Structure 1
Amino acid sequence: MERRHPTLADVARVAGVSKATASRAINGAYGTSPTVRDHVRSVAARLGFAPHVAARALATGRGGPHRRDRIEVLIVDPDPAAMSAKPFYGRVLAGAMRALGGENLSLEVRRVAAAPSDEDDAPFGRLLINLPGAAGAALARRSRTVALGRSAPGVVFVAPDNDSGGSQAAAHLVATGRARIGAVFGPSTPCADERRAKFLRVMAGAGLSVAAVDGDFTRSTAYAATRELLRREPELDAVFAACDVTAMGVLRALRETGRRVPHDVAVVGFDGSALAEAADLSSVYMPVEEEAASAVRRLLDPALPPAGRLPTTLTVRGSS
């Protein structure tokens, strides 16, 4: 019987590391210490493991042992127009690229409609956006992982101070005398849930109820949701939008139904993107670029202390 050739999985098992770490150590890729590289290569030599460069290049499409390793920005968003329609993602990429600087790492962006299953060809590190907790935890077992927003217990995350942002938006509307409040909230992600919960708590503390609908951070859904809110509550005098893209749909619906902003209805968004400035929209600013940069720095050096919650600040403009 022909003797079976040892595989990368055999090397990883004997060396006591993951396949991804074994591959990086053997190839001299970024992300393994000299001690780990020497250990893995010693095990590979002892087992008689000989990687086939051409086969590996064909399998991965990445050009063999001298390829640059990569950080993957994994975005779960069912909106096919998400990358062009939502400024948040562009700001994430700008911050991630700034943090990479001169490192010999590439940045790979992948948008998927639903959380992917575990994969064999794990990158050096992953930046997770909108990943459900269980899916995030599964991916974190394969490579270094940092989430933007809370994920599963044990998964490192960086997030804005959504509580403070939701509180500032609500307090501003109360302070300016608005009493018939509507809201177009976001999908059930940790960050959206946090800003929603705090906004509602502040309004309840002021003795005000909120006519609320759920959205999905798209302009079209926000437009339809606002039309529905106005049918239910025609005397609304304020609307809180869970993000600036949502606010664009809110503003369109108000304009088409003859409501003047801010005279009849005040509008406050969340993100502080370029959209807010262009539309003269009051919005809670999130330091998205710094959030992404901090996450990438943590991927590069897991020994860094947690970033903590990054501050959010309401900028008041003409919409409120």
Structure 2
Amino acid sequence: MVYERIAGEIRQRIARGELRPGDRVPSTREITARWGVAMATATKVLAALREEGLVHAVAGVGTVVSSPAPAAPPVVKDDLTADAVVRTALAIADTEGLAALSMRRVAGQLGVAAMSLYRHVPGKDELVVRMIDTAFGASPLPVGSGGWRERLETVARLEWDLFSRHPWLAGAISMTRPTMLPNAVAHTEWIMQALDGHGLTAEEALHAAVTLFGFVRGIAVNLEHEAEQRHQTGITEDEWMARQAGVMTSLVASGRFPMFARMAGSEVDMDLGTLFEFGLARMLDGIGEWISGRAALTGGGRPE
């Protein structure tokens, strides 16, 4: 695969020390220009490097090389803290999924008796809540600057990167019975402030913030399932799609799906990163039209 070759070249530069922790790696636009590939392919390059933990997104900067994760020091029973419990649980969920998480598993990882955890966390449900808040808190929001669209795009990409680093996270968050966590509510507040002054009521700004978050979460909720499938079968998304070639041929030959047939033989990127990019642009377009309509009604100019 082309994206794997490009990712390999950047990976080697990181391994050789040519790109050090904190250094910017080529952006999607730079990758398309340098290697002559489509934007979707460039997006897959950075997604692959993020999944390996080699890079991460920094708002206002771009994608940078990550620092090596320090080895966790052994936890002495008398030094056990709620923070140590939460961070150990995060590591388990990130590598094996939320289904693998239990109080007993966390205790075993820490080398302590399971009952000792309950002095710091009441149970698994509360542990997951604290994990969610800790995950959001580890990705601080940037200082607000720029127009509303730039700011909404920034926070959406930050959330996508957050969900990509924690594949279990999107599925652990409820849209109908949300828990009011300070670090998560900060994202809603940040979006509402970005939309303030553009003719929207506070309730409308809240709906826009929740809808944008719901879009990002809706795509990201598939990340854990894909990670599980890749782990269980050893088959990547691209390999799985390649195995569907026979089914695709049959569907096209049936004549029932003329629009679908137009894509036959074409390279169509339909991975989660591509869907996120497409959907985010269309959602921001829609919010822009909505805000423009309000500006027209009030006699104001076209908003940024």
> TM-score category by the smaller chain?
under 0.3
Which has the higher Rg, Structure 1 or Structure 2? 1
* Larger relative helix fraction: 2
TM-score (norm 2): 0.26
More strand by share: 1
